């Protein structure tokens, strides 16, 4: 199983990617997590990635492709396939990916912009332990974490201006890659609004239906 998952920030892409990967027994490759781990470990690629991320920029395509190509050559991928989460992010990366491997299905987890803006801008996070709250479901006393007593705040990245900027980048850079997979006949679009269980069921059914068509 070789899967690519697309979705706007706040669409639940990370959660659903993990569930899909578990269902299809394929390694979940989150390029964001890989880069953060590499940066924390201080590897050359990690330090280069950190420079770009700290400046709020996307890594150059050739750097990202090198990272992904190396990961796709690992034994677990050769045996079980992969689920790519966070790559490709641009049309250039999409074209390059199909130059190094085949892809069975590209999933587009569709959640409207206004829904993700509402989800993210109402999110609040404990500075101590990272527990997630929301304006609708705050801690029981005065924005103090129920778990650790830490201060519960809005992250600077979660303000509606910051979210709008990232959504505009997604629209300009990533949507062309999504459309490109559609022109290849590889795209399945799934409604991502609902509980995590509902969305996971929908996703698995849609991917299985597409695989059955292709057999």
The correct pick among 40, 148, 164, 168 for binding Zn ion (CB under 5 A) is: 148
Find the catalytic residue in 2, 8, 19, 89.
89
**Owner of token pair 């085949």:** 102
CB of 69 to Zn ion, least distance (A): 39
Residue 155 designated active-site? yes
Distance CA 108, CA 80 (A): 22
Question: Judged by CB under 5 A, which stretch of 30-38, 53-61, 113-121, 123-131 contacts Zn ion?
Answer: 123-131
Find the catalytic residue in 36, 50, 71, 123.
123
CB of 125 to Zn ion, least distance (A): 9
Residue 166 designated active-site? yes
Strand partners, 83: 3, 28
Q: Is 138 in the site for Zn ion (CB under 5 A)?
A: no
Q: Is 125 in the site for Zn ion (CB under 5 A)?
A: no
Whether the upstream peptide bond of residue 88 has omega within 30° of 0, thus cis, is yes
Q: Is 47:39 a contact under the CB 8 Å cutoff?
A: yes
Q: Is 74 in the site for Zn ion (CB under 5 A)?
A: no
CB of 150 to Zn ion, least distance (A): 4
Judged by DSSP in three states, 35 sits in helix
User: Tokens representing 194?
Assistant: 């609902």
Q: Is 164 in the site for Zn ion (CB under 5 A)?
A: no
CA-closest candidate to residue 144, choices 118, 119, 124: 124
Count of Cβ atoms closer than 10 Å to residue 202 Cβ? 17
Site residues (vs Zn ion, CB under 5 A): 126, 128-129, 131, 145, 147-148, 150
Write out the catalytic residue numbers: 13, 89, 123, 155, 166
């Amino acid at each position: 199983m070789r899967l690519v998952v697309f979705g706007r920030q706040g669409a639940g892409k990370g959660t659903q990617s993990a569930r899909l990967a578990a269902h299809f027994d394929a390694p979940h490759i989150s390029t964001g997590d890989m880069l953060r781990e590499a940066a924390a470990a201080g590897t050359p690629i990690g330090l280069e990635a950190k420079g770009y991320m700290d400046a709020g920029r996307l890594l150059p395509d050739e750097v990202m492709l090198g990272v992904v190509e190396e990961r796709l050559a690992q034994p677990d991928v050769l045996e079980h396939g992969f689920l790519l989460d966070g790559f490709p992010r641009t049309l250039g990366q999409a074209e390059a990916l199909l130059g190094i491997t085949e892809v069975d299905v590209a999933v587009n987890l569709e959640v409207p912009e206004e829904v993700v803006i509402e989800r993210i801008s109402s999110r609040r996070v404990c500075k101590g332990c990272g527990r997630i709250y929301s304006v609708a479901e705050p801690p029981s006393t005065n924005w103090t974490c129920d778990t650790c007593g830490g201060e519960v705040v809005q992250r600077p990245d979660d303000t509606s201006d910051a979210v709008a900027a990232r959504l505009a980048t997604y629209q300009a850079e990533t949507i062309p890659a999504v459309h490109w997979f559609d022109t290849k006949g590889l795209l399945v679009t799934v409604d991502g609004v609902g509980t995590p269980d509902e969305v996971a069921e929908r996703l698995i059914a849609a991917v299985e239906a597409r695989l059955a068509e292709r057999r």
